Amino acid sequence: MRYKLPALVAVLVAGLPLTAAQPPDALDDTLALVGLRRADLGWTPKGWWPRWPEVQYKLRAFDSLFAAPLDTVAYTRALGETAWEKLDPAKLDTKDPSYDGNLFQAVQRLGIDPRFGGFRGYHTNLLAPDTPLDEAILKLTAAAHRPTKAYTFGMDLPYPKPKETLAEKVQVLPEGVSPILGRLVLNIADAHYWAELAFRKVDGNDRLVAATRYNVGEEMIDAQDYCPQIDDAAKALDEASLWYAGLKCVQAMDDARIALQKLDLHDVPDFACDWETPWGWIRVHGGGNDHVDGTDALLSVDLGGDDVYTGGVAASNANRSIGLLLEMGGNDTYTSDVPAQGAGLCGIGLLLDAAGDDTYTAKRYAQGVGQLGLGLLVDLAGDDTYFTAFSGQGCGYFGVGLLFDLAGDDQYKIYGDGQALGGVNGVGVLADRTGDDRYVAVREQSITGRPSYHSPNLDVCVSNVQGCGMGRRGDGSDGHSWAGGLGALLDGAGADDYSAGNWSMGTGYWFGIGLLHDRGGDDEYHGVCYSQGTGAHFCIGVLVDEDGDDQHLAEENSNLSIAWAHDFTIGILLDVAGDDRYSVDKSSGLGNSINRSIALLIDTGGDDVYQTKEVPRPGFAKNDERFRARGGVSTYFADTTSLGLFLDIGGHDTYWGEWRNDNQWLDPHDAPNWADRNFSVGVDRAIGSVDFTPTPVRPPSGPPRTSAPQP
């Protein structure tokens, strides 16, 4: 995708002839100043490199992105555009004949596909016909190998009589509802078969431990509490069957929603129709203001009213593979001290709320969290409020956790580990399509109880939020290194506010991928350490903001933020348009690379302001003697290339110190960076464009220039 600026007066930038008609690609020009081409960036590790980390569970995109850093921008944009297209309320109820619904498409493409490539998003193959609810429940009971009539000694017993009792219970349902829900129940029975099949090789005790281990978020970073049961369960899990079950549940719930919305449900009476099946309760409620305990529910359906849900609603566990809730309308309140509200713990947990201004509150593992499972919360409309303390709001550990909010001005609040966290081998996505939204990760460690050693003596916590990919770094403890996953926060339209402590807003750690894509609006980003296109230790962190007058702020006493990359990290911040302000404190970014990383800050439009206290200059790669050491055990430092790059195109920009608009700056000609292939480059130019379209596969380029270009 190529972004072009309005035609401006052509200028010459130190040997780079620019013309208004067809200016060369500005990024290619900037790389050429230090003798690099795009193909020179990135790393393909060699198996013989001593001390290069060996990790398990890398996501399938990681190695290719690690080898081609600029492709991370295209990947980030593709996820953002998928959320924008597939979560469009105007198209949500339509189907292309070649595919199932758009909600299913969004779950498959944003959640399942980054982890597992066995599906390409065609159909979930749901076959159940419209069936009266009572008949469907009896068929589900039979599928569980439980009797549907009491019969012994060659005769019918006087009780229980499930067929007759069920037929009487469903009489309270409004006309047309029963066959829709019956079809849903039969499709759930189909999904249940696949969900159980997924765990057929998993030891039962391992599954129980994996579903109740609630410290994975805090444990994974520095690897201080290894859980062998999770490791064993992950290796034995049949992922194809698990995700097939999850996708079936998504489509079945969406089909039921669409069918119910076609009925006249405006004046539904208050009623309750509850039945306990072998796989959990089925609860159907009418238009009253209900109080529902979601514990042990296979399926809850509510047709209207301002309802209150407590307990483990829309959650699965080791004993119940599926927990679903379909809420058709009303201003609802959800509260829980246990996993809930779209929690897939060794199974499928799905909450679909179709309308209303809703409030979601939970202690932990809620609001779209998957741990060896699929957890999904979908809210289609309304101004909603979300709070969970830890592990939620789009969070995955060895699973997929998704939160989709399609419309409204929404408030998200968390203590840590969520708002799009891809934890160990997980995918966590928070996609909010429209509205002026506020994403808050409580910063004070005095509140969260999670002090950060990157902010000593400060009241700042470890957040791990808002597009964060975080792995388990076992090289300093027990050797069980698990790669981080994909954390992607995808915001469509609106003026948004992001705030957090450390590790946030497009950041990675230990083979994780953290992405934030904001499609438009005047946004504010407030982080402390490792925030806004950053990362440390073999990872990827990217922030792409497509439009608006934005504020990229690293708070006072912050460091290591805003296009900062450390130790074989790709850290990129791309802001495409608008009058933006960047403010960093000590030891921060603006395209700052250390320890063989790729750090890029690229702003392609607007009158921008850059402020700092101690940053050496925009576009800086710190040198290290290890870059030329070949006699020791870390030769991969000497064998690779690193880059700190800053590029601002267009506008009248303001800098500090000696840096100026329409200028460029490089390392001195006698600096060791040239010989060590550790390149620093900064350019401010009046016109140009940058194309981030991935190029076709091509042969490797020649060696980069190893000395400063001659004037």
* CA dihedral of residues 223, 229, 230, 236 (deg, nearest 10): 140
Cis before residue 160, ω within 30 degrees of 0? yes
What pLDDT shows up at residue 305? 96
Could you tell me whether strands 272-277 and 2-4 are parallel, antiparallel, or unpaired per DSSP bridges?
unpaired
Percentage of residues in the chain with pLDDT exceeding 90? 85
In angstroms, rounded to a whole number, what is the distance separating the alpha carbons of residues 134 and 277? 11
> Strand runs (DSSP E) across 239-342, as ranges?
272-277, 280-285, 291-293, 297-302, 308-310, 315-316, 322-327, 333-336
Rounded Cα distance, 415 and 420, in Å: 13
Tens digits of residue pLDDT in 499-553: 999 999 999 999 999 999 999 999 999 999 999 999 999 999 999 999 999 999 9
Nearest to 38, CA basis, from 708, 665, 697, 711: 697
Mean pLDDT, all residues of the chain: 93
Residue pair 166/275 in contact by the 8 Å Cβ criterion: yes
d(CA 445, CA 462) in angstroms, rounded, equals 8
Spans of the chain below 70 pLDDT: 1-22, 632-633, 696-711
The full length of the chain comes to: 711
Quote the pLDDT of residue 12. Answer: 31
- What is the C-alpha end-to-end distance of the chain, expressed in Å? 33
pLDDT at 699: 56
* pLDDT at 11 (0 to 100): 33
- The 10s digit of each residue's pLDDT in 41-59 is 999 999 888 889 999 999 9
Residue 611 phi/psi, 5-degree rounding, is: -130, 145
Pairing of strands 689-691, 2-4: antiparallel
Q: What are residue 605's DSSP bridge partners?
A: none
Domain boundaries, the chain: 1-41+53-88+466-693
For residue range 225-253, what is the model confidence (pLDDT) as tens digits? 999 999 999 999 999 999 999 999 999 99
- Strands 678-685, 663-666: pairing kind: antiparallel
The reported pLDDT for the residue numbered 588 is 77
DSSP secondary-structure letter at 708?
P
* Phi–psi pair at 326, nearest 5 degrees: -115, 110
Q: What are phi and psi of 631, to 5 degrees?
A: -95, -5
- Residue 421 CA to its chain's centroid (Å): 6
CA-based nearest residue to 418, from 403, 399, 432: 403
State how far the Cα of 360 lies from the Cα of 368, in Å rounded to an integer. Answer: 11
Please tell me the number of Cα atoms within 13 Å of 1 on its side-chain side.
Answer: 12
CA 473 from chain centre, in angstroms, equals 20
The DSSP bridge partners found for residue 465 are: 418, 504
Q: Which two tokens stand for residue 299?
A: 């399926």
The residues pairing with 535 across neighbouring beta strands, listed in sequence order, are 508, 565
pLDDT for 50:
85
Largest CA-CA distance found in the chain, in angstroms, rounded: 102
Give residue-wise pLDDT tens across range 325-349.
Answer: 999 999 999 999 999 999 999 999 9
Cβ neighbours around 125 below 10 Å, total? 11
Residue 35 contacts residue 43 (beta carbons within 8 Å) = no
Which residue's structure tokens are 């066995």? 118
Residues paired with residue 498 on neighbouring β-strands, in sequence order:
439, 525
What pLDDT is attached to residue 559? 81
- What pLDDT is recorded for position 704? 54
Tell me whether residue 619 is exposed, middle or buried, using C-beta atoms within 10 angstroms of its C-beta: 0 to 12, 13 to 18, 19 or more.
buried
Other beta carbons within 10 angstroms of residue 697's beta carbon come to 6
The phi-psi region of residue 419 (left if phi > 0; otherwise alpha if psi is between -120 and 50; otherwise beta) is left
Q: Which residues contact 701 (CB under 8 A, 6 or more apart)?
A: 37, 39, 40
